[in-house]
Amino acid sequence: MKPAQIAITDLSYRLDNRTLLSINSLTLSAHRIAVLGRNGSGKTTLARVLSGLIAPTTGTVKIGDVAPLHDRKKAIQTVGILFQNPDHQIIFPTVIEEIAFGLSQLGQTKEQARENARHMLARFDRSDWAERSISTLSQGQRHLVCLMAVLAMSPRVIILDEPFSGLDIPTKAALDREFAQIEQTLIHITHDTSTIENYDHVIWLEQGRVASQGSPKDVVPAYHAAMSESITL
């Protein structure tokens, strides 16, 4: 699948007289994009602006010819997001209801949505999860349900907001394998450089601004050096 074209122009986001995000211009066209930065650097704010969940104070975001903030129907077909905590995303009691909901938002009938949800479960070899209660799933399994729900809607861009936070090593590895098979443009919000070594492009955010961008081999060493210099005991 061809990478999506993402254009950010004169973007800022201010809250309580604080500027959380300030990006003059950024054009992206890569299959795997990482947004790197320490806590409070503006990563999650950028993820929410890109997905149209919050309005920037100034500026625009376009993915192809779609402005996610202003065209919500096209937005859900264009960009999907996985939150750091799946419980902030899941709203239905069973797995099949959760996956089918987004499909119904696209205009599918209840029967079509449930059938396509079953196809998605089968794709991940999780058909036996269909009627399972979300409350019986682990955090990693809930992340997978959220991923299936997003993939079912076939967006061009998928944003992962710190998806490995709080997961044990086996669960992290299993999810990482699933992410590696995604054909869409992937934007991975993280502070952990070990998960982005093979990415196409890295954006390093510092205090809401782009400190550097480029290949992992160019950006990651500079990021590590800056983080080491800022350590205080």
Q: Is the pLDDT of residue 212 over 50?
A: yes
Q: Which pTM value belongs to this model?
A: 0.89
Phi and psi at residue 216, in whole multiples of 5°? -55, -40
Q: Is the pLDDT of residue 179 over 60?
A: yes
- pLDDT for position 143: 87
Average pLDDT over residues 171-195: 86
Question: Per residue in 64-87, pLDDT tens?
Answer: 999 999 888 888 889 999 988 889
Question: Per residue in 15-51, pLDDT tens?
Answer: 988 999 999 999 999 999 999 998 889 999 999 999 9
Q: What ranges do the domains of the chain cover?
A: 6-92+156-229
CA distance 11 to 183: 28
Q: Is the pLDDT of residue 233 over 50?
A: no
Average pLDDT over residues 55-67: 94
Average pLDDT over residues 204-224: 94
Q: Is the pLDDT of residue 58 over 70?
A: yes
Phi and psi at residue 215, in whole multiples of 5°? -75, 155
User: Please, which residues have CB within 8 angstroms of residue 204's CB and are 6 or more apart in sequence?
Assistant: 36, 37, 210, 211, 212, 213, 219, 222, 223
- pLDDT for position 145: 93
Q: Is the pLDDT of residue 188 over 50?
A: yes
Q: Which helix (H) or strand (E) holds 209?
A: strand 209-214
Least confident of 55-69, 113-127, 188-202: 188-202
Q: What percent of the chain has pLDDT over 70?
A: 98
Question: Per residue in 154-170, pLDDT tens?
Answer: 899 999 998 877 777 88
Confidence band for 231, pLDDT divided at 50, 70 and 90? low
Average pLDDT score over the chain: 91
Question: Per residue in 120-145, pLDDT tens?
Answer: 999 888 999 999 999 999 988 998 99
Average pLDDT over residues 168-179: 80
Domain 6-92+156-229 has CATH 3.40.50.300: yes
